Amino acid sequence: MLRTLFDIAMRHLFGRRRQTLTTIFGVAISTMVLITTNSLMRGLLDSFVETIVNVAPHITIKGENINPMPLNLIAQEGDAVVAYVDDNIQKLEREEVRNYRQIIALLDTQEYNKQVLTASPYVDSQVMAVKGSRNQPILLKGVLLDKEDEISGIRKKLVAGDVDLFEKTSNALLVGRTIAKDMDLKLNDQVVLIPAYGQSRQCKVAGIFFSGVNAVDNSVFVSLKFAQIIEGLPDNKVTGIALKVAEPFNNAPLAGNLEQITGYRSQTWQQANEGIITLFTRIGYIVFSLVAFVGIVSGFGVANILVTTVFEKSRDIAIMKSLGFSSWQMIGLFVFEGFMVGLAGALAGGVLAIGAIKLFASLPIESSQGALTKTGFSMSWNPVYFLIIIGVTVLISTLAAILPSARAAKLEPVSVLRDSSL
């Protein structure tokens, strides 16, 4: 019986070859669009996470005390509140990590050295860079180059210049490519740095780097000592300590432990980029929801071809029911036809999606994709998304066949055969 129903379903589908192929093509296009769009959105998020993990610190110990002085020094419950006013106005202390070498020494102990792979102290400074008639505020970051290289791989990201020159010259600069383009900087150019306080310094461009992370490429690296001089920091103080850890995706417990031990705020890369990750995820959901309607439309196409088949094959259906085919077998027949059309279209759409993803990934264009700058589009090849979308498409096509199959099951053989119009 199953063989017979299969043969009849194939006859119905191939009997209306043009309409069947058109419907399969519509299902294939909707599947391709769904897979390609999802691949683009997930690829962008995955690429961002991968780039951040490879370039940015996994945990950053910031010069922010986790137990700051409260605003209300003396407060009582109820209506009684006592306040003191002090006329001694003092300068707000900047955020800094004191005696950072002790913290690094602690991280080298047996308790932490397997969890923390690298600890790189740094000093941040906002300065004005001037070259000729061009000037621009920039973020200056003082680092120990060997330690920074273990965090971000800065040596491999140089597109021009010489690291040896940077290490030998006290006032040398490693400039992010974005800054270099904005200020038209080239190797060996002289740049004047003007800090908020203190005297200006003349520096030399020793290298230009490109990481792909826009926030990093908008900064300039100098030696740690030079940045301490610009910021007026003593030798034992830095802005923070960047850490590379063994488990970057499970770093929250370690960050919490470091906060308790050091007394300074320890921020994970997930917390630092929470807004961007959330934005990518929301955009992905919105785009996927909108494009999913294309799949629903393709389901209507499947329902349309089956409704037409039921109308044109009413006499055949009546004869089949007269010969002993049950109503459930009629429902199974047309549900199977919907399944076959959906499966053929979904598989064809999966093949088309592979070609579309390869095309987008190979486009030789450089685009700023949110927080990243990449050549070509970041596409995800996760087979799970392929299987889910193909499965959902087949399910929609199968469910779309329920209405016409129910119509076929309700046909009365006597009424149909008596009607001379059929």
pLDDT in tens, 202-215: 999 999 998 877 77
Q: What is the pLDDT of residue 120?
A: 93
Show the CA angle centred on residue 71, arms to residues 65 and 75, nearest 5°: 125
Query: Which is higher by pLDDT, 356 or 274?
Result: 356
Give mean pLDDT, residues 257-269: 90
% of residues, the chain, pLDDT over 70:
78
Mean per-residue pLDDT for 272-287?
A: 77
**356-401: per-residue pLDDT in tens?**
998 888 877 655 555 655 566 778 888 888 888 888 888 888 887 7
pLDDT higher than threshold 70 for residue 57? yes
Nearest partner of 175 among 236, 220, 141, 116, judged by Cα: 220
Pairwise CA distance, residues 108 & 115, whole Å: 10
pLDDT for res 115:
92
Q: Which of 338, 319, 331 is nearest to 405 (CA)?
A: 331
% residues pLDDT > 90 (the chain): 19
* 99 pLDDT higher than 90: no
| pLDDT reported for residue 87 | 52
Residue type, 86: D
Separation of alpha carbons 60 and 116, rounded Å = 12
The alpha carbon dihedral of 203, 173, 107, 48 has a sign of positive
How far is residue 314's CA from residue 201's CA, in Å, rounded to a whole number? 90
